[in-house]
Amino acid sequence: MTPPAAGSRTGLFRTVRKHPAGALKARTVALVGNPNCGKTTLFNALTGLRQRVGNYPGVTVEKKEGRLALQDGIQCTLIDLPGTYSLLASAPDEQIATDILLGRASHTARPDLVVCVVDACNIERSLYLVSQLLDRSVPLVIALNMVDAAERNGITVRLRVLERELGVRVVPTVASKRRGVEELKRVIGQGAGAAGKSRQWRLPEPVQRECDELIGLLDEHHQLKGPDAFDEAAALLATDTADLERMVRYDPVLRDHVRRDHQRLEFLGVDRRSVFVEARYQWIRTLCAEAVSQEPRNGDTLTHRIDRIVTHRVWGIVIFAGIMALLFQSIFTWAALPMAWIHDGFDALSLLLTRIIPPGDLRNLLVRGALGGVAAVVTFLPQIILLFLFIGVLEDSGYMARAAFIMDRVMGRVGLHGKSFIPLLSSFACAIPGIMATRTIENSKDRLATMLVAPLMSCSARLPVYTLLIAAFIPARSVLGIFTAAGLTLLSMYGLGLFAALGMAWLFKKTFLKSSVPVFLMELPEYKIPSIRSVLVQVAERAYSFLHRAGTIILGASILLWFLASYPRMDGALPAERLQHSYAGLAGRFIEPVIRPLGFDWKVGIGLVSSLLQREMFVSTMGTIYNIDNANDEGGQASLRDRMNSDRDPATGLPTFTALTAVCLMVYYVLAMQCLSTVAVMRRETNSWRWPAFQIAYMSALAYGVTFVVYRAGLWLGLGG
């Protein structure tokens, strides 16, 4: 975009003259800001698809980096740090952000430049983090984001005043519309970050005097200097006196001095725990009074008017349920055509390989094994894309925070904190980030209870299993003229997972994890039109992750399964007989007596065992097994659901799969723990094998017991035929 002329005005935000261009100094740039400030949207706008996601070494905190293309083709690394309100970290993700910003992280170099994203609608709150960065002399640029929303709310920000008082560049942006993004890139490319003006805020004289004395002692006895010494002195003055004896890293002389400081300040009526925060905010309020003004508004904002309905005690729940029903209905309706295209594509590829490769093990390996297993999973890619597209739109619009607010009432009734809803909601995508998201829950028992039940939420890996079984065995009937039986069945599986999670959480909180439920405070951001670019970047990441698993783990497992299902060879025998006497068939028949009371046969048993690696492996396993079982078919990749639907038990002649079997399988997959990656993350988060083992045990028992009851009830109702 073309930058505005010097001294011009864009909306209510006055621009300032540009600094002279210079050589690029910033090779590593960190993006930091409060939660819900639009930081991730800005990161996606700056990097696009040139980003990678991993974990920081030794922790489960997500690490997101991207390549930022600047002027003249110069590239630098942009790090999207976890959201934080303060450099005084209270959670692992905040600690990661603080350590990187202050150069304490051994795994990541200190950034050359920090871009702090400030919400233009909540400048006062955001400036608290800015003031801490200034005190640390961090090379800083401020991205004043969502200025369009601030303009709509009548907020005027005098950028000249803000830049003068802070001593750093302030660039107005609207990340969702890419406004100001090019200007921000120019500022980054110029290396225009300044250390700013530190310690503009002032403490009350008695507190400052005690703080200065402590800084001197810390310098003398512990070699702490500058901002490190000040922060440590502030922490010592604010800490509980009773905790001083446990601070063995300090000598008795220093502890005695701090104890006397506590007594003097308390005698003077100083609130030691809040005085440092209040002093910062006093300066911030003074700054905002000069740099920010807001026109009086008549009536409520659009956000408030929408929230009257969306967060209503009754209508809020109805709207939430309707949105979820629409989501799952669309997964079946809208994904049908692209799924058919993908199936036809694999079918054509299968026919091509069949024609150019002579008969034998190589052709069977490629067509029946590798291609059959991968095709069975990749066919469901459109549904995965639609699921994450809906989730991305709901998150980016601001609705997800309202969903958490609505569900807080339900959370409280089962003893969970309202913050537990966000991890549980994240678990609809994957239990791993859901478990990681529990780090924001302060109470350790609430956090553990949430981690224990998070895998009960139906993750995206279960979606291929559900849709395969629903499409094959649930009749395509219309319900109320709007929904279909297939869509409502899928919704019921997700509802069952949520119900089971809340029920088990209630049981845990009433027994060995009993504790009081703290008050739930959560910021409700303004509604906004979702950034299509940002949503599509997130969807692309998820799609790539899904295809990466299909092309690596699932491909390898499919090849291995083909070998186990094809050997030892029985020349002259029928394909079904060869499969029964293969290594995989023998293993399935070995566990069949255990799963037969649930209505499952040995083929399902093979799928259940393979699902321990990843849940979607059930689909690829069935694809491989039924390709081998129909090895005489030379017509390409026949529909897996058609083959499952037509499968018959050779002993009885009855269908191997029925609608009841399909329902029981889905119920089992809702409740069972079948993901080794989740177990590994649970081990790392709890630092013990005790809780992962307990989680596996209780979920396995729950899945077996409930599935057994459902199967027996179905037989009693005559649904087994």
Listed residue (1, 39, 340, 8) closest to 181, CA to CA: 1
One-letter amino acid at 364 equals N
Phi/psi region, residue 194 (left: phi>0; alpha: psi -120 to 50; beta: rest), is beta
The backbone region for 404, taken as left when phi is positive above 0, alpha when psi lies in -120 to 50, beta otherwise, is: alpha
| CB of 588 closer than 8 Å to CB of 605 | yes
Residues 113, 139: Cα–Cα separation, whole Å:
5
pLDDT confidence of residue 60? 43
Partnered with residue 140 across adjacent β-strands are 114, 194
Q: What are phi and psi of 533, to 5 degrees?
A: -60, -45
Q: How many CA atoms lie within 13 A of 297 on its CB side?
A: 13
State the helix-helix crossing angle for 485-510 and 399-413, rounded to 10 degrees. Answer: 50
Q: Where are the domains of the chain?
A: 9-189, 205-294, 317-324+394-530, 330-383+533-716
Neighbours of 176 (CB within 10 A): 24
* DSSP labels, 239-271: S-GGGGGG-TTS-HHHHHHHHHHHHHHHHTT--
Q: What is the pLDDT of residue 573?
A: 66
**Which single residue is written with the structure tokens 């225009």?**
192
Of 259, 40, 33, nearest to 129 by C-alpha is: 33
Closest CA to 120 of 11, 36, 37: 37
Q: Which of 205, 224, 203, 221 is nearest to 257 (CA)?
A: 221
Mean pLDDT by 10 residues, the chain (721 residues): 36 40 63 86 81 50 77 82 80 77 80 91 89 88 90 87 90 89 88 65 86 83 79 80 66 80 84 84 90 76 82 85 79 81 87 87 81 77 82 81 76 75 75 73 82 90 87 79 80 90 91 73 73 81 76 78 80 72 86 92 87 80 76 51 81 82 94 84 83 94 96 87 58
Place of tokens 């871009």: 115
Closest CA to 699 of 480, 434, 455: 455
Bridging pattern class, strands 75-80 and 155-157: unpaired
What angle, 0 to 180 degrees and rounded to 10, lies between the N-to-C axes of helices 485-510 and 659-671? Answer: 40
Contact predicate 170/159, CB 8 Å: yes
Residue 379's Cβ-count burial label (10 Å; 0-12, 13-18, 19+) is buried
Six-digit token string for 289: 């009074």
Q: Measure the CA–CA gap between 285 and 281, rounded to whole angstroms.
A: 6
Q: 554, 617 in Cβ contact below 8 A?
A: yes
Give the C-alpha separation, 509 to 446, whole Å: 8
* DSSP one-letter code for 111: P
Alpha helical stretches, state H, 567-601: 575-580, 583-595
691: tokens are: 């809780």
**pLDDT attached to residue 709:** 95
Give the per-residue pLDDT at 13.
Answer: 43
CB atoms within 10 A of CB 352: 12
Cis geometry, peptide bond prior to residue 475 (ω within 30 degrees of 0): no
Q: Where are the beta strands (DSSP E) in 190-303?
A: 292-294
Strands 28-33 and 13-14 come out as: unpaired
Category of 105 on φ-ψ map: left (φ > 0), alpha (ψ -120 to 50) or beta: beta
Amino acid type, 298: N
Whether the Cβ atoms of residue 624 and residue 565 lie closer than 8 Å to each other: yes
Q: Which class does domain 9-189 fall in?
A: alpha beta
Structure-derived torsion over alpha carbons of residues 456, 604, 463, 372, reported in degrees to the nearest 10: 150
The domain defined by 205-294 folds into Helix Hairpins (1.10.287)
Whole-model pTM? 0.63
State residue 720's pLDDT score: 67
pLDDT value at position 170?
A: 92
Q: Nearest 5°: CA angle at 168, between 162 and 172?
A: 60
Q: Amino acid letter at 32?
A: V
User: To 5 degrees, how large is the angle CA 338–CA 344–CA 347?
Assistant: 145
The whole-angstrom separation of Cα 447 and Cα 345 is 46
Q: Which residues pair with 63 in a beta bridge?
A: 54
E strand map for 397-494: 478-479, 483-484
Neighbouring residues of 285: CB distance < 8 A, sequence distance ≥ 6 = 124
CA neighbor of 117 nearest in space, from 76, 83, 145: 145
3-class secondary-structure state, position 523: coil
